[in-house]
Chain A
Amino acid sequence: MNTIFYIAAATAIVSSILAITNRNAIHALLYLIISLMSVSVVFYILGAPLIAALEVIVYAGAIMVLFIFVVMMLNIGLEEETEKKWLTPKMWILPSILAAILLGIFIYVLKVFQFEKTSAEIIGPKQVGISLFTTYLIAVEISAILLLAGIVGAYHLGKQKKKVTHRFLENTPSDKKSDLKTI
């Protein structure tokens, strides 16, 4: 089991790094789906089967498909000049040193303060459901309101408004030229 945890964790980290460094949006999204699935494996062996299923269904299934739809709809060719200008190799040195110091402190703290070993038991969907609909009932209702607001907001923002311009006032010299050429 421990080996599976380490393999899944390594896969998740590597594929997340590939997801944020890849310049092609579709490839990045596919790497992110791999990352989410390996995190789902981690959830499963942590004893949370419901969460593992939800991770695959909602994150990798629904949210990522939404992303892919938008990327395909926009049909982007991705080479940003600003990023190229900023991301010179020299610029990575200082942030990397600072981040390495912080990471060192983090590992040191985790080494010094010994936590007891986990002996994870499976917490099934039944327990989660009972907790969700008794203790956290109000939070469930609030999140329902949040989802409703999300639907309304996405519908309102996603509407493509028709541009209304009078045909005689519309300034289209290029069109006229092309018209002349065709004539």
Chain B
Amino acid sequence: MVTVSMEIQILFAGLLFLIGLTGFLVGRNIIFMLLSIEIMLNSAALVFVIAGSHWMQADGQVMFIFILTVSAAEVSVGLALILQMYHHYKTLDADALSKLRDNEVK
């Protein structure tokens, strides 16, 4: 089995999370933002599995299954919201959704 030290594995998961976070902060296209959230969720789940394999417990993998469930529900609702947004605004730019913004403060 793999004998890479745990710090390298956690570093890998952290890098994946950072890539997702960067994509989320930089992107204005709402599909790319949802996609970056997927990367972040996946890397967080990766940390659970790494810890589970380190302490040889099944709990990490159980947590992965729960994260998978949450992410599936989140994606289905999110994509339905994106469809509605495209239907109403004809764009996927997240900045287009500014109806709640106070007009005087810009």
Contact = CB atoms under 8 A, between A and B. Distances in A.
B93 A42 contact: no
| Range of interface residues on A (Cβ < 8 Å) | 35 or more
Nearest to B15: A13
Interface residues of B, number: 68
Interface string B64-100: 1110111111111101111110110000110100000
A59 B83 CA distance: 21
Per DSSP, are chain A's interface residues mostly helix, strand or loop, or mixed? helix
Contacts of B32: 20, 25, 28
13 contacts: A1-B1, A16-B19, A45-B2, A47-B1, A51-B49, A51-B64, A54-B64, A66-B75, A67-B79, A118-B2, A150-B76, A153-B76, A160-B83
Given A16-B19, A58-B72, A110-B11, 17 more contacts: A13-B19, A19-B39, A20-B20, A39-B16, A47-B1, A51-B64, A63-B38, A70-B83, A82-B93, A83-B28, A115-B6, A117-B5, A118-B9, A131-B59, A139-B62, A157-B80, A160-B83
